[in-house]
Chain A
């Protein structure tokens, strides 16, 4: 697949002084594509971006751009421009000088530089600010100058290193869409590093989730959200409620055995990679339905199979209720585990309830061998 890709990262290993940050990582990016590298801090996403930019040299592996080997090419010989997390604007230069510097380095005539700077400034809504220094601009304006500086040299690939993380939450939401619209309009290829799931979801064509120097999963936002390939990805994509189950896999069906807190259920296997035995079930706060608990006897092993509509039913007790806005959030104890569930109406703490998790929102994985909760750290 990487042969056809516009930018191909093949088997790249990168490390600093004894530690390996990226471990034989391969990634292909198509022309005009917007790819988000998503992961928690220390997962290697910034290292990957810096390796693509040419600030890190891989220990092994190669990088090609449109078929040309760029593994050891200097950062400016790659047709890429980077937008830094800190913006890294030159404080002693005006906005116009910052944007025009790359063209000045390319020895463009002064009139051409001025014309291009004006064009970029009006495209990014910076007209009239050309004579200001970065210190006199707001965070959002600085961010746009940094973007303009990168775009002025007409790079083939735009590299974005958490460019929105220093902005106010409200400004950030607007800038997300601005950058995405601009990228589409210019038809430029973009690689965007972020630790913000929603940001990656709304901006990217494809999301690459990194975990400890490897790609945990890549796919469209919808794919990684609805079909996480591992507990890590599921947790990272917000499915933080965890329950232990047992069951068996039979052809295209999965039979979940009755447990101390759940009814038996049979659901379609679909694309789930699963083996008979202990399962780890994950689901999102908003994915479960909160139902009143039927009287005790009705919830026995001989419960009517008719009510099994391909959903998992868990029995628990509400132990906390809060209102974060829009919906009521309930912390429900299911045995020793606690899960969060949203509902339109509040349920009093102490009430016994049944949680119904539809098959489409239920992520099942083989339980980790050591039983350790390795994935919860990804929640941040």
Chain B
């Protein structure tokens, strides 16, 4: 009995820290989402959907599309690292692909803003190369710019996870397929990716959640309407001091990430049950 009490006392600071710094603010913002001037109710959510349905769908579209492109690219890069037969190319790629991991989102946003603008570096190069005329240039500073920024920043992270998983699968399973005549692309799709799909899913879910919470990229690249939920939350608070709607929007993006997490957990459980 005494020992249990001592144990509890020892754990108390940690529990208190979690309760004070993590649970309380979360609960406060959850209850805040239901507080309106007329008392508790769904007013904030009604207002959120009236004003921001387009932005919510826009966010979902951008983040989902980015997640899929990231998955495709990371499979391609990690696959080449695992199956590539030119050791020099593999070494160069291995050294190169991780750099974006060390660059903050805000810097990514800024770099890509100058790169993708109508008179930005990319279009200047295309014009100088005679591929486009100045009149044909378009700005990529809309949903495409945000997707490019997310993919650029998050692909190395997922690749890191996937390449690690691919490196640890039994090389024999690859050689056995090659022995029977499978091409490298078939080996990647039919032999390697199925063996690392859990890791790939983890990487995709983590990326999805990260991208849902990034404010700097939409602000830097495309803050006009439509924009992402994060920009809207910042706008409600900074421009109107409207914490109610901001909390409601926060709850909505939380619901979206939870949905993804649940899908992932479901798949994981099914896998284990097999």
Residues of chain A within 8 A (CB-CB) of B175 are 55, 75, 82, 84, 88
One of B172, B186, B274 near A105 (C-beta < 8 A): B186
Residues of chain A within 8 A (CB-CB) of B172 are 84-88
Closest chain B CB from A78 CB (angstroms): 9
B274 touches A133 (CB 8 A): yes
With contacts A105-B181, A106-B181 known, is A82 near B176, CB below 8 A? yes
Interface string of B187-222 (1 = CB under 8 A from A): 000010011000000000000000000000000000
* CB closest chain-B residue, reference A82: B179
Closest chain A CB from B175 CB (angstroms): 6
Interface string of B154-186 (1 = CB under 8 A from A): 000000000000000010110111111110001
Interface string of A97-136 (1 = CB under 8 A from B): 0000110011000000000000000000000000001000
Residues of chain A within 8 A (CB-CB) of B179 are 53-54, 75-76, 80-82
B176 touches A149 (CB 8 A): yes
* CB closest chain-A residue, reference B171: A88
A101 touches B173 (CB 8 A): no
Give the distance in Å from the alpha carbon of A354 to the alpha carbon of B259 in the complex: 85
B180 touches A86 (CB 8 A): no
Residues of chain A within 8 A (CB-CB) of B195 are 90-92
Give the distance in Å from the alpha carbon of A92 to the alpha carbon of B180 in the complex: 17
B177 touches A101 (CB 8 A): yes
On chain A, the number of residues with a Cβ less than 8 Å from chain B's Cβ atoms is 24
* Cβ-based interface call for A311 (8 A): no
* CB closest chain-B residue, reference A77: B181
* Cβ-based interface call for A242 (8 A): no
* CB closest chain-A residue, reference B197: A92
Tell me how many residue pairs across A and B have CB atoms closer than 8 Å.
56
Closest chain A CB from B215 CB (angstroms): 39
Residues of chain A within 8 A (CB-CB) of B176 are 82, 84, 88-90, 149
One of B170, B181, B274 near A88 (C-beta < 8 A): B170
On chain B, the number of residues with a Cβ less than 8 Å from chain A's Cβ atoms is 16
With contacts A90-B191, A92-B194, A105-B186 known, is A153 near B170, CB below 8 A? no
Residues of chain B within 8 A (CB-CB) of A90 are 173, 176-177, 191, 194-195
Residues of chain B within 8 A (CB-CB) of A88 are 170, 172-173, 175-176
Residues of chain A within 8 A (CB-CB) of B178 are 55, 75-76
Closest chain A CB from B252 CB (angstroms): 36
Closest chain A CB from B249 CB (angstroms): 40
B170 touches A76 (CB 8 A): no
The listed residue with most A CB atoms (<10 A of its CB), out of B179, B181, B274, is: B179
Closest chain A CB from B105 CB (angstroms): 35
One of A55, A89, A133, A153 near B180 (C-beta < 8 A): A153
* CB closest chain-B residue, reference A76: B181
Closest chain B CB from A135 CB (angstroms): 8
Give the distance in Å from the alpha carbon of A370 to the alpha carbon of B94 in the complex: 50
One of B170, B186, B194, B274 near A86 (C-beta < 8 A): B170
Give the distance in Å from the alpha carbon of A92 to the alpha carbon of B274 in the complex: 11
Residues of chain B within 8 A (CB-CB) of A105 are 180-182, 186
Give the distance in Å from the alpha carbon of A371 to the alpha carbon of B63 in the complex: 74
Give the distance in Å from the alpha carbon of A84 to the alpha carbon of B180 in the complex: 13
With contacts A55-B175, A88-B175, A92-B195 known, is A101 near B180, CB below 8 A? yes
* CB closest chain-A residue, reference B194: A92
A102 touches B181 (CB 8 A): yes
Give the distance in Å from the alpha carbon of A88 to the alpha carbon of B175 in the complex: 8
* CB closest chain-B residue, reference A161: B172
Give the distance in Å from the alpha carbon of A85 to the alpha carbon of B172 in the complex: 8
* CB closest chain-B residue, reference A85: B172
Give the distance in Å from the alpha carbon of A87 to the alpha carbon of B170 in the complex: 10
Residues of chain A within 8 A (CB-CB) of B177 are 90, 101
Give the distance in Å from the alpha carbon of A153 to the alpha carbon of B181 in the complex: 10
Give the distance in Å from the alpha carbon of A55 to the alpha carbon of B175 in the complex: 8
Closest chain A CB from B103 CB (angstroms): 35
The listed residue with most A CB atoms (<10 A of its CB), out of B180, B195, B274, is: B180
Give the distance in Å from the alpha carbon of A149 to the alpha carbon of B186 in the complex: 17
Give the distance in Å from the alpha carbon of A105 to the alpha carbon of B186 in the complex: 9
Closest chain B CB from A105 CB (angstroms): 5
Interface residues in A278-304 (C-beta closer than 8 Å to B): none
Closest chain A CB from B95 CB (angstroms): 20
* CB closest chain-A residue, reference B173: A88
Give the distance in Å from the alpha carbon of A76 to the alpha carbon of B179 in the complex: 5
Give the distance in Å from the alpha carbon of A84 to the alpha carbon of B177 in the complex: 11
Closest chain B CB from A331 CB (angstroms): 42
The listed residue with most B CB atoms (<10 A of its CB), out of A80, A86, A88, A102, is: A88
Give the distance in Å from the alpha carbon of A85 to the alpha carbon of B182 in the complex: 20
A89 touches B181 (CB 8 A): no
Residues of chain A within 8 A (CB-CB) of B186 are 105
The listed residue with most A CB atoms (<10 A of its CB), out of B170, B176, B177, B182, is: B176
Give residues in B with beta carbon < 8 Å to A: 170, 172-173, 175-182, 186, 191, 194-195, 274
11 additional A-B residue pairs with CB within 8 Å, beyond A54-B179, A90-B177, A92-B195: A55-B178, A76-B182, A81-B180, A82-B175, A82-B176, A88-B173, A89-B176, A90-B173, A102-B180, A105-B180, A149-B176
Can you list 11 A-B pairs with a CB-CB distance of less than 8 A? A75-B178, A76-B180, A76-B182, A82-B176, A82-B179, A88-B175, A88-B176, A89-B176, A90-B191, A91-B173, A106-B181
